[in-house]
A and B are shown apart, each in its own frame.
Chain A
Amino acid sequence: MSLFIEQTLNGVQLALLLFLVAAGLTLVFGIMDFMNLSHGSLFMMGAYFAATFVTLTGSFVLGGLIAIVCTTLLGFVIEAVWLRPLFGRGHLDQVLGTFGLVLFFNDFVRLVWGPGGRTVGLPQMLQGHVYFGPNFSYPVYRLVLIAVGLLVAAGLFLLVQRTKTGMIIRAAASDREMAGAIGADINRVSAMVFGLGAALAGLAGLFAAPILTVQIGMGDNILILALVIIVIGGLGSVRGAFLAALIVGLIDALGRAYMPNLLRLILSPVAASTAAGALSSVAIYILLAVILLVKPQGLFPARGAR
């Protein structure tokens, strides 16, 4: 039972990380019809900024804040310099243009931070475990991560669903031309959403830094999972992205926990644990295939009947 709770918490935590990345991706897609493969690079840059500034300031919170601000600024710069010319072009051009950006950032990081990975230490108060019972404990940091992640998700939900800005964002996501025609400044909305997306990706990078190794290419896997999530959730829908992130996070964590035991019935223990990792990755893509067959537009399509 405690394994189940622990893996569920791990799943929720992975889900929140993925949601932070996917939220920006789905909004940018919904509003600008823009396919951004470089969003994972922002996640990576956030983690590297965190590694630098947390060490530099000696404070996880202060360094983390600086890292998020830097990632956000970087998001604005990328949008203005590299991505804006690709708005309105075909998806193929967008895929290639942003893939170029992925290559650029991988080597940029190699140049600035070197080829080796980085680790980010945790402050004293975030280390240690919380004990829920005689034989069940969970790391404090991961609990804080879940709490902050849920708060940010709730904040984003309120912003998108309950404010005037959010109304404009949703209007633009459901029909860009019409929103522009009734007076919304689409370019400003786009820049704003890009900045917001970058900030969230930076936050995810900061969160991930102490758990994962900060390394080149760390954004790739997250990016592809986030892409799967926004397809499952329905392109442009924040609510859909949240739900899909939860599903994907839980499948991954529970799959990794329980699949080895099932597979051990037919495979050697070592083979079972390797195969289980691969299989729970595969399970996510099978889910995607099923969803696309049943609901090709995803769970919560943002664009009306289209």
Chain B
Amino acid sequence: MKPPSPRLLLTCGLAVLMALAPLAVRFTGNEYPLIVLTRIVILAIAAVGLDLILGYGGMVSLGHAAFVGIGAYAIGIMTAEGITSGFVQWPLAILAGAVAALTIGALSLRTRGVYFILVTLAFAQMVYFVSVGLDAYGGEDGLVIPTRSQFGALLNLSNRTTFYFLCLLVLFATIALVAHLARTRFGLVLRGAASNERRMRALGFPVYRYRLAAFVIAGALAGLAGILLANHSEFVSPSIMNWGRSADLIIMVVLGGMGSAIGPLLGALIFMLTEELLSHVTTYWQLVFGPLILLVVRFATSGVAGFFPERTDEG
């Protein structure tokens, strides 16, 4: 039997460590770290989804936060309209993310390269302005979500520890899904198209459809992250769709390692903890963070996951 690969060990190690985190919180009696960690896990879900199109598919989407926002707004709006059952809310919110991704993706994927970056950014801005215009649901000020999604006796999302474990479960299911997809024929076509689109087409693959499918999956996962984020902060406002948030997600993916499924989690951890740490040291943390991003881009493009190879056999 082959020994497990460093990548698999890393994934399992992280899963165990993160599952133990609530224990540490129980001992110290300080809930703040758990709140931060929950947020990291949620953003990591969106980042892992983004990795499917950015890392594996080579599509630089600078508008991914829009789908997170759509998922979150779906929860906010349904709650405001009196629909609080998670069994209704969640599928609809995920569907909203997927449908938005289908629409935006169908148009954006006709473009290539820098046009694709700018067009996804533009569509995300459009969604952002629509949310600003939602006067009935708070407009620019946002919308308070008074009750978290109800799952009857099955789950109580108001319990912080329960909610954290749910997020963690979703995250690792997402990582497993993306890692699995990457190995299937679907993933191989996606990766092939990223390295040489013309060749994949010559081989007869409908590259556009594969890419669109990946874009929709990523959009649905972002919608799912949005659902969790809305439940986590019990609030949603247009600012979660700010273009900077889309850039944050890309940074997480690049930092952790593109096309590695587990990388975005590492990226999200490093990104958010650095932000947390720096903002405790100085109010002007972006003064340090900005140059750090440049250094990562210049010198560490394979990301942290690059240190943990996927295979044990050399060469």
Chain A residues packing against B (C-beta within 8 Å): 29, 33, 35, 82, 85-86, 89, 91-93, 95-97, 99-108, 110-111, 220, 224, 227-228, 231, 235, 270-271, 274-275, 277-279, 281-282, 285-286, 288-289, 292-293, 296
Secondary structure dominating the interface of A: helix
Residues of B close to A275: CB separation below 8 A:
133, 135
Contacting chain A: which of B3-11, B31-39, B172-180, B243-251? B243-251
Q: Is the CB of A93 within 8 A of B115?
A: no
Known: A92-B60, A101-B294. 18 other contacts (CB 8 A): A29-B114, A89-B297, A91-B117, A96-B247, A100-B297, A101-B290, A111-B284, A220-B243, A220-B244, A224-B121, A224-B125, A227-B121, A271-B136, A277-B133, A278-B133, A279-B133, A288-B119, A293-B110
Q: Is the CB of B110 within 8 A of A93?
A: no
Interchain CA distance A86-B293 in the complex, whole Å: 12
Residues of A close to B250: CB separation below 8 A:
92, 95-96
Cβ of B181 < 8 Å from any Cβ of A? Answer: no
Q: Is the CB of A103 within 8 A of B289?
A: yes
Q: Is the CB of A100 within 8 A of B110?
A: no
Q: Is the CB of B130 within 8 A of A282?
A: yes
Residues of B close to A235: CB separation below 8 A:
114-115
Interchain CA distance A91-B60 in the complex, whole Å: 9
Q: Is the CB of A96 within 8 A of B297?
A: yes
Cβ of B123 < 8 Å from any Cβ of A? Answer: yes
Cβ of B308 < 8 Å from any Cβ of A? Answer: no
Cβ of B113 < 8 Å from any Cβ of A? Answer: yes
> With contacts A91-B113, A106-B286 known, is A285 near B136, CB below 8 A?
no
Cβ of B166 < 8 Å from any Cβ of A? Answer: no
Q: List 17 A-B contacts (CB under 8 A).
A: A33-B114, A91-B117, A92-B54, A95-B250, A99-B244, A100-B292, A101-B294, A104-B287, A110-B284, A227-B121, A227-B122, A235-B115, A270-B135, A278-B129, A279-B133, A281-B129, A286-B126
Q: Is the CB of B290 within 8 A of A292?
A: no
Instruction: Tally inter-chain residue pairs, CB-CB below 8 A.
Output: 136
Residues of A close to B157: CB separation below 8 A:
none
Interchain CA distance A285-B293 in the complex, whole Å: 29
Residues of A close to B293: CB separation below 8 A:
96-97, 99-100, 103
* Least CB distance, B165 to chain A, in whole angstroms: 33
Q: Is the CB of A104 within 8 A of B286?
A: yes
Interchain CA distance A293-B301 in the complex, whole Å: 33
List the A residue with the shortest CB-CB distance to B242.
A220
Please tell me which one of the listed residues A85, A224, A231, A282 contacts residue B298 in the complex, with CB atoms under 8 A apart. Answer: A85
Interchain CA distance A235-B286 in the complex, whole Å: 30
Residues of B close to A93: CB separation below 8 A:
297-298, 301
Residues of B close to A100: CB separation below 8 A:
289-294, 297
Q: Is the CB of B287 within 8 A of A227?
A: no
A-contacting residues, B260-315, CB 8 Å:
283-287, 289-294, 296-298, 301
Interchain CA distance A110-B282 in the complex, whole Å: 12
Q: Is the CB of B286 within 8 A of A103?
A: yes
Interchain CA distance A152-B194 in the complex, whole Å: 43
Residues of B close to A103: CB separation below 8 A:
286, 289-290, 293
List the B residue with the shortest CB-CB distance to A281.
B129
Interchain CA distance A3-B61 in the complex, whole Å: 40
Cβ of B192 < 8 Å from any Cβ of A? Answer: no
Q: Is the CB of A292 within 8 A of B60?
A: no
Residues of B close to A106: CB separation below 8 A:
286
Q: Is the CB of B287 within 8 A of A111?
A: yes
* Least CB distance, A221 to chain B, in whole angstroms: 9
Please tell me which one of the listed residues B119, B292, B298 contacts residue A292 in the complex, with CB atoms under 8 A apart. Answer: B119
Cβ of B86 < 8 Å from any Cβ of A? Answer: no
Q: Is the CB of A35 within 8 A of B254?
A: no
Cβ of B99 < 8 Å from any Cβ of A? Answer: no
Q: Is the CB of A95 within 8 A of B60?
A: yes
Q: Is the CB of A97 within 8 A of B287?
A: no
Residues of B close to A296: CB separation below 8 A:
110-111, 115
Q: Is the CB of A96 within 8 A of B125?
A: no
> With contacts A278-B129, A282-B130 known, is A97 near B135, CB below 8 A?
no
Please tell me which one of the listed residues B139, B243, B284 contacts residue A274 in the complex, with CB atoms under 8 A apart. Answer: B139
Interchain CA distance A275-B62 in the complex, whole Å: 25
Q: Is the CB of A95 within 8 A of B110?
A: no
Residues of A close to B283: CB separation below 8 A:
110
Residues of B close to A286: CB separation below 8 A:
126
Cβ of B107 < 8 Å from any Cβ of A? Answer: yes
> With contacts A100-B289, A220-B243 known, is A293 near B129, CB below 8 A?
no
Cβ of B170 < 8 Å from any Cβ of A? Answer: no
